[in-house]
Structure 1
Amino acid sequence: MRESEKEIVRSLPLFSGMAPDHFEIMLKGSFLQKFPATVVLFSEQDHTDFLHVLVDGQVELFANANNREGTMTLIKPVATFVLASALADGAYQLSARTLQTSQILMIPAENIREVMALDSDFAQKTIVELAECYHGVVRAYKNIKLRTAVERLANYLLVQNRRQGDNDGLVLPVEKRTLASMLGMTPENLSRAFNTLKPYGVVIDGAEISLNNLSDLETLAKPSAHIDAN
């Protein structure tokens, strides 16, 4: 690996405090690969051979059952994914595919397990990262169980507006089909939910969304710090 690529990995909180010799052990046999959009990186129930680090692009984690598919979450750079599966030396619990051209660092899972036994800082930060992932799962579950489809969409728009600069509008970062799946809806239900939000100042122009009455939208959405991501 090039030094510039190692620095990207080092920038992640999970690896920032790792001892230099342990860092080199972890990266042995690792490689950075570029994937085009829509490539399936792995499928659920495949054996976990690598910890993945998304350096650039976007990745969708999804699951299948009974001929149905659901988006579980989206990964943005720079971030690791499937850490729990890599540590457990078991099967992937989700499938993954690229949503756009993506650069992904593949770290052998056995290296992760070896270094966790050697490096106390890495072990502690691994526990923290797994705890944060657990909290994310709880928030997502509460979002699905405690809100209507319209409320889920309204809160998603408010979160994206905040992330994109609080400019009373946003650009959807994913296709509407993917958004619908992520919010636990069919594409048809998503379309109906958008129509329901029109009286609350939501104007749709393709992927561009204008929020012309944030106060009314927030009253409907009832955002919660215990559910919504930053």
Structure 2
Amino acid sequence: MRESDANRIRQLQLLATISDEAFAQITRGALVQTFPAGANLIYEADSVDFLYILIDGMVELQGHWHDKESTLAVLRPISTFILAAVVLDAPALMAARTLSRSQIVMLPAETFRAAMREDPGFSVAVAQELSGCYRGLVRTIKNHKLRSGTERLANYLLTQQVRQGGGDTVELLYEKRILASLLDLTPESLSRAFAQLDKYGVAVTGSRVVIGNAAGLRKLARPNALIDNHQPPRGDVQGKAAKELWPLPGDRGCGMEVE
């Protein structure tokens, strides 16, 4: 693995405090691969030989049952996935595929577990990461069970507004059918939810969404720190809206939050 790639993944909170010896151990034998859009990385029930770290591109995590499939999360850099399966040496519960050309670091699972056994500080970091994953999953469940589809969409748009710099225009980063599945909606329900947001100044043209009345949208969405985990862009985010959307300390979500 190139030094530049090693430095990038070392920025992850999961790996920030690992000893140099343990880091060298888990990156020995690591693979760095570039995949085209639409590449299947993992299938459900696969044995897990690597921890995956997305360093460029976009990855969708999916669940399947008979002829149905659902988007569970959409990941952007830098993100790990299937950490719990690696720790437990268990089959994957989710499938993963690329939504765009993606570069992924693959750390051997066995050496990862060995480093956990030998480096107590690293084990604590893994426990903290998995705790963040659990809390992110709880947030997602609460979002889906306690809010209407329109409220879920409103909060999604507010999340993206913060993450994309706080302006009035939000770019949808993937197809609307994926967004619908991510929000636990049908494509038809998503269209109706967008129509209901028209009164709040939300106008959609292709992948471009203009938010004409952010204050009204926040009043409808009622963002809540115990459900939402909006990540601000780099640097300080100012204003009342940013404070309402600020995440609680320690929450990361491991891709299980609503992106």
TM-score (norm 1): 0.98
In the alignment, is residue 158 of structure 1 matched against residue 179 of structure 2?
Answer: no
In the alignment, is residue 182 of structure 1 matched against residue 182 of structure 2?
Answer: yes
Identity rate, percent: 44
Q: Using the TM superposition, give the Cα deviation of residue 217 of structure 1 relative to its aligned residue in structure 2, in angstroms.
A: 1.3
Q: Using the TM superposition, give the Cα deviation of residue 66 of structure 1 relative to its aligned residue in structure 2, in angstroms.
A: 2.5
Q: Using the TM superposition, give the Cα deviation of residue 163 of structure 1 relative to its aligned residue in structure 2, in angstroms.
A: 1.0
Distance 1:177 1:90 in 2: 30
Counterpart in 2 of 1:23?
A: 23
Counterpart in 2 of 1:96?
A: 96
In the alignment, is residue 144 of structure 1 matched against residue 144 of structure 2?
Answer: yes
How many corresponding residue pairs?
A: 230
Q: Using the TM superposition, give the Cα deviation of residue 169 of structure 1 relative to its aligned residue in structure 2, in angstroms.
A: 2.0
Distance 1:143 1:13 in 2: 25
| SS of residue in 2 equivalent to 1:198 | helix
In the alignment, is residue 87 of structure 1 matched against residue 87 of structure 2?
Answer: yes
Deviant stretches of 4+, over 3 Å: none
- 1:164-207 C-alpha deviation (Å, 9 max, x unpaired): 11112200111101000000011111111111110111001111
Map 1:115-126 to 2 at 5 A: 115-126=115-126
Distance 2:111 2:119 in 1: 12
Q: Using the TM superposition, give the Cα deviation of residue 6 of structure 1 relative to its aligned residue in structure 2, in angstroms.
A: 1.3
Instruction: Specify every segment of 5 or more residues in structure 2 that has no aligned partner in the other structure, as ranges.
Output: 231-259
TM-score (norm 2): 0.87
Distance 1:169 1:6 in 2: 35
Q: CA RMSD in A?
A: 0.9
More helix by share: 1
Distance 2:7 2:228 in 1: 31
Tell me the amino acid that sits aligned with residue 168 of structure 1: D
| SS of residue in 2 equivalent to 1:103 | strand
Tell me the amino acid that sits aligned with residue 147 of structure 1: R
Counterpart in 1 of 2:197?
A: 197
Map 1:7-46 to 2 at 5 A: 7-46=7-46
| SS of residue in 2 equivalent to 1:107 | strand
Counterpart in 2 of 1:105?
A: 105
In the alignment, is residue 67 of structure 1 matched against residue 67 of structure 2?
Answer: yes
